[in-house]
Amino acid sequence: MKLLALLVLLAIALTTRLLTFYLNQPEYKDGQELTIETTLLSEPRIKGKSQQFSVHLQDGTLVFITTTIYPQLSYGDTIQISGDLKERVLDNKKILLAMSFPKIQIVKKDEVGLALVTRLRQSLTEFFLNTLPAPHANVLLGIVFGVKEGIPQAMLDDFKKTGILHITAASGMNVSMVGSFLTGLFGAFLRRQYAVLASIAGICLYAVLAGLEPSIVRASIMGIVAFSAQLSGRQYLAVYGLFLASFGMLFVAPYLLFDVGFQLSFAATLGLITIRPLFDRYPFFKNNMIGKDFATTISAQLATLPILISTFGTYSLWSVVVNGLVLWTIPFLMIFGGMGAIVGLVIPTVGGLFLYLTLPLLTYFTFVVQFFANNIGTPTSFENIPTSLTIGFYLLLASLVLFVKNKSYGTRKLPA
Question: What is the domain partition of the chain in residue ranges?
Answer: 33-108, 127-405
Contact between 34 and 82 under an 8 Å Cβ cutoff? The reply is yes
Angle between helices 192-209 and 114-131 (to 10 degrees): 90
Predicted confidence (pLDDT) at residue 379 exceeds the cutoff of 70: no
Predicted confidence at residue 93, as pLDDT, reads 64
Q: Which residue has the higher pLDDT, 112 or 157?
A: 157
pLDDT one-digit tens code per residue, 212-235: 777 778 878 887 877 676 666 666
Average pLDDT over residues 378-403: 79
Give the contacts of 217 (CB within 8 A, at least 6 positions apart): 207
State the average pLDDT over residues 119-139: 85
pLDDT tops 80 at residue 291: no
C-alpha to C-alpha distance for 16 and 24, rounded to whole angstroms:
12
Confidence (pTM): 0.74
- At 290 the pLDDT is 66
Predicted pLDDT of residue 234: 67
pLDDT above 70 (res 384): no
Q: Which fold has domain 33-108?
A: OB fold (Dihydrolipoamide Acetyltransferase, E2P) (2.40.50)
Tell me, what's the pLDDT at 413?
47
pLDDT at 363: 93
Helices 153-161 and 359-375 cross at an angle (nearest 10°) of 70
User: Please, which pLDDT band fits residue 316 given cuts at 50, 70 and 90?
Assistant: low
Q: How large is the average pLDDT for residues 259-277?
A: 83
Q: How confident is the model at residue 273 (pLDDT cuts 50, 70, 90)?
A: confident
Taking only the tens place, the pLDDT of each residue in 170-220 is 666 667 667 766 776 777 777 777 877 888 888 887 787 776 777 778 878
Q: Is the predicted pLDDT of residue 362 greater than 90, yes or no?
A: yes
What pLDDT is attached to residue 360?
93
pLDDT, greater one: 390 or 353: 353
Average pLDDT estimate for 113-127: 75
Q: Any idea what the Cα angle at residue 305 is, between residues 297 and 56, rounded to 5°?
A: 105
- 63-77, 222-236, 330-344: which has the minimum mean pLDDT? 222-236
Tell me: pLDDT of 5 over 70.
yes
Q: What is the mean pLDDT of the chain?
A: 80
- What pLDDT does residue 36 have? 87
Residue 114, pLDDT > 80, answer: no
Q: How confident is the model at residue 74 (pLDDT cuts 50, 70, 90)?
A: confident
- pLDDT tens readout for residues 154-171: 888 888 778 777 676 666
What's the pLDDT score for residue 82? 92
151 versus 381: which is more confidently predicted? 151
What pLDDT, on the 0 to 100 scale, is given for residue 357? 92
pLDDT band at 312 (very low <50, low <70, confident <90, very high): low
- pLDDT(237) > 80: no
For residue 408, is pLDDT > 70?
Answer: no
Whole-number Cα distances in Å, 22 to 59, 61, 289, 381, 395: 9, 11, 46, 32, 26
Amino acid identity at 299: S
Residue 353 binned pLDDT confidence (cut-offs 50, 70, 90): very high
Lowest mean pLDDT among 6-20, 114-128, 308-322, 338-352: 308-322
The whole-number pLDDT of residue 16 equals 92
